[in-house]
Amino acid sequence: MRSVTLEVKSVYKQFSGVEVLKDVNLEAASGEVLGVVGINGAGKTTLMNIIAGEVALDKGTLLIDGEEVTVQSPKDAEKFGIALIHQEPVDFAHMSVAENIYLSDLPMMKGLPFIQRRKMEKQAREQLQRLGSNLNPGSRLSELSIGGRQQVAVARALAQNARIFLFDEPTSSLSFKEKQYLFDLIGRLKQRGATIIYITHFLDEVLQICDNVCILRDGRVASSGPIGKYKLQDVIREMIGRDLASFEHRQPRGSRRELLRVESLSAGTLVRNVSFSIYSGEVLGIWGLMGSGRTELVRALLGLYPVSAGKLLVRDGVSMRQISGRQLLRSCGYVTETRHDDGLFLPQAVWWNISSAFLKAFEKQPFFAMDVRREMDAGKTMAERLQIQMPGVTYPVRQLSGGNQQKVVLAKWLLRQPEIYFMDEPTRGVDVGAKREIQKIIRDLVSEGAGILLISSEIEEMMSLSDRIIVLRGGTAVQEVPYAEFSKEHLMSLGVGNGSET
Amino acid sequence: MSNGFYLVFVILFLFYTFSSEYFLTVLNIRNILSDAASIMVICTGLAFVIMTGSLDLSVGSVAFLCASITSLLIKAGQPVVLSLLFGMIAGIVVGAVNGVLVALLNFNPLLVTLGMMIGLRGVTMHLTKGWQIYIPTEVKKLAIDLAGPVQRIVILALVVIILGQLVLKRTRFGRYVTAVGCSGLSAKRIGLNVRAIRFSVFVVSGTLAALGGIIAMMNMGVLQPTLGRGLEFIAVAAIVMGGTSLFGGQGSMVPGTLFGVLMLGIIENGLALLAVSPFAYPLVRGVVIFVAMYADSLKNSRLAIAR
């Protein structure tokens, strides 16, 4: 007997006149995983926030076990057994695992204001083991990886007797192994009869672990039903309303020029004697597994990581000239892996961010004054070109969705019009629609003659965007793979290393 | 700038106007402004440091040091301009030392500037032997002569704070300062020299603290051994009340800091007019700051819920 625990009926929500959810209906049953997918702006996060009590709905009803409920705060949600597991779990980094799990319900000694530490740790260990986790309840949270912190968040929810779990993009920062742990954990929750709602961008995961799927588009449910009904193409089509075409590799205009030459670069243990060149009009993919040194390589190139040996040369007219990493940083475009930490000035306006890497261009002589009007115009033009969706250029960047934030990062570098770009996971944490747009921007840039070094963990993206790929393993450049030889198996095996190099 | 703050400002102003017949007179307003001139200048410099997310607690002692150097030199018969120059140079040097320690050697700014605050006061006391130092009336008149409706130092202070605002909001340097305060990491990734920016704001702070101290000394016509004592906290309070975040990256000098300074000046002035016991001054200051900040936080929390 399928028992529906959570029902959402005709929910409507608007923010400052923008309709985010228009008449959304869904239902989730115990012992099942419901996947919720949709591009950014489709309303998934808002829907989850409404269910979890962080945002109030304007119209519509929520029913739990058939009875109408009002969830107006996270405390209400907790009362009804709803737990929201955030993408980057919010927790107390300096406290222990056990303390984090039992913080709202610490076991106290009778009559005394002291915590029963041993009992708490024992209970925590039991909870964790039931989840299949072998975390030490005494470890400090800051020592754990994101996967570990997720486990703690789930354990805490269980300690508060949650029955409905909402996972918001849980796998964006997880390694392969941690992903498996997570799926295992979800499986165990299923067995215990929990109701699970799973939001993700990674459609293959939806096909892998979800029993049902609900596809949101433009604030409405475009389609929903058991997962068996859908193929990957179908889901994509429902999400964006049309089929995706793949990229053609066009020939770049003009002749091929060497833009950057890296000779024998070494830095720490993760970059060992790496040499390569970047040419105009091409995307050079750097592929490797986590820990192979890709990000470190780029950081070392740009002088952000101490270099122990090696030379950098850039094109200067007809010949190559040696430069330092810092000089390269000032003249190139560098899209980082972690836009939240180091790619954006979150409280500042969109236009402020867009012009921030090229302020010299907007200086009005004679008094070193900035020409704010021109900056805002430039920001608006860029935003249109990249199709950034936002209330306006004067709004703080932190109000934008992930995909649009990433576009602001790109806009910032595009304004500099550099010849060379370094892009580290440019479509991470970005919805399918914006991902597509960003990929197109990348291809457009190379067709205009730029040279782009691309790092991406998504092998399909690597293969579809790159003109050639260099595989890194343990800090060394193992092999260069030309376009004609691209294949998932080949790249994977080079990355893992089992003697298939030529 | 928050509405809560403006509201308290207006209420206070009206309260004093009705409580004392001397409050809304030209002479009194001039006094408020000339007394505020010194701290206005100091706050401008300090605001730059706070905008980068750092802190400079030594400003009171730098003001004292530089005012002492200047007054000692004047008393010794040196030309005024030279005395002023040396006083300013001392401020620049101290600022540079702070800058090196905090920005280049990565010492904790709180500890460095706190130590500087305590140490400099000791050094200066040694220089002045704890005496009051009177300066000749002609020199004092240089500062407090009227230039139009208000004294020269008031004009100077207003020029400084307006200039500070323009530099902060309208020049590349000001943008860099805001960027560093907003996100040091992001600033680094764009290729900004974060250390240089952090260093330079300390130099600005030291220089303006020197100027502020000299202004305070000339306003009174005498160097008091208590000059600048506790000033840093008033300065920080004025800046924060004016809407600048202690985390950096947010805030303005005009109208923000300007009104913060004026508010505190008016409180003090009104209390004096009402013949309130001087021991109550800090208490009243504290209460008003508390009320203004509370009103501000109410507004912020309402915004948060609406989102």
Give residue-wise pLDDT tens across range A473-488.
Answer: 878 888 888 887 887 7
Highest mean pLDDT range out of A10-14, A188-192, A218-222, B112-116?
A: B112-116
Percentage of residues in chain B having pLDDT higher than 90: 45
Tell me what pLDDT residue A460 has: 77
Residues B182, A369: C-beta atoms closer than 8 Å = no
What are the distances in angstroms from CA A32 to CA A82, A109, A184, A192, A308?
15, 39, 14, 10, 53
Report residue A249's pLDDT band, with 50, 70 and 90 as the boundaries.
Answer: low
Report residue A181's pLDDT band, with 50, 70 and 90 as the boundaries.
Answer: confident
Min Cα–Cα distance to chain B from A302, Å:
9
- Kindly tell me if the per-residue pLDDT of A498 is higher than 60: no
How far is residue B93's CA from residue B236's CA, in Å, rounded to a whole number?
Answer: 22
Residues A348, B171: C-beta atoms closer than 8 Å = no
Residues A370, B170: C-beta atoms closer than 8 Å = yes
Min Cα–Cα distance to chain A from B231, Å:
30
Residue B109 touches chain A, beta carbons under 8 Å: no
Mean pLDDT of all residues in B263-290: 83
**3-class DSSP assignment, residue A467:** coil
ipTM of the complex: 0.77
Residues B170, A343: C-beta atoms closer than 8 Å = no
CB B51 within 8 A of CB B187: no
Report residue A41's pLDDT band, with 50, 70 and 90 as the boundaries.
Answer: low
Give residue-wise pLDDT tens across range A332-380.
Answer: 999 988 888 888 998 899 999 999 988 888 887 777 788 888 899 999 9
Tell me what pLDDT residue A174 has: 78
Residues B189, A348: C-beta atoms closer than 8 Å = no
DSSP one-letter string for chain B: --HHHHHHHHHHHHHHHHH-TTTTSHHHHHHHHHHHHHHHHHHHHHHHHHHTT---TTHHHHHHHHHHHHHHHHHTT--HHHHHHHHHHHHHHHHHHHHIIIIIS---HHHHHHHHHHHHHHHHHHHHTT--EE--HHHHHHHHSEETTEEHHHHHHHHHHHHHHHHHHHBHHHHHHHHHHH-HHHHHHHT--HHHHHHHHHHHHHHHHHHHHHHHHHHHTEE-TTTTTTHHHHHHHHHHHTT--TTSS---IIIIIHHHHHHHHHHHHHHHHTT--GGGHHHHHHHHHHHHHHHHHHHHHHHHHH-
Instruction: Tell me the pairing of strands A451-455 and A420-424.
Output: parallel
- Length of chain A counted residue by residue: 502
Report residue A8's pLDDT band, with 50, 70 and 90 as the boundaries.
Answer: confident
Residues B170, A369: C-beta atoms closer than 8 Å = yes
Residue A207 touches chain B, beta carbons under 8 Å: no
Mean pLDDT of all residues in A49-61: 88
The pair phi, psi for residue A213, each rounded to 5°, is -135, 150
Give residue-wise pLDDT tens across range A63-109.
Answer: 888 888 888 888 888 888 899 988 777 777 788 888 888 887 777 77
Give residue-wise pLDDT tens across range A375-434.
Answer: 999 999 999 988 888 888 899 998 888 888 999 999 999 998 898 999 998 988 777 778
To probe the interface with A, which of B163, B182, B183, B186 has the most A CB atoms within 10 Å? B186
Residues of B whose CB is below 8 A from A329:
189, 191
Residues B186, A342: C-beta atoms closer than 8 Å = yes
Burial A351-378 (b: 16+ CB within 10 A, else e): bbbbbbbbbeebeeeeeebbeeeebbeb
Residues of B whose CB is below 8 A from A295:
none
Residues of B whose CB is below 8 A from A343:
186, 189
Return the structure tokens found at A255: 């002749």
Give residue-wise pLDDT tens across range B117-130.
Answer: 999 999 999 999 98
Mean pLDDT of all residues in A128-135: 81
Residues B249, A347: C-beta atoms closer than 8 Å = yes
Tell me what pLDDT residue A246 has: 57
- Kindly tell me if the per-residue pLDDT of B50 is higher than 90: yes
| B 204-263 near A (Cβ less than 8 A) | 249-250
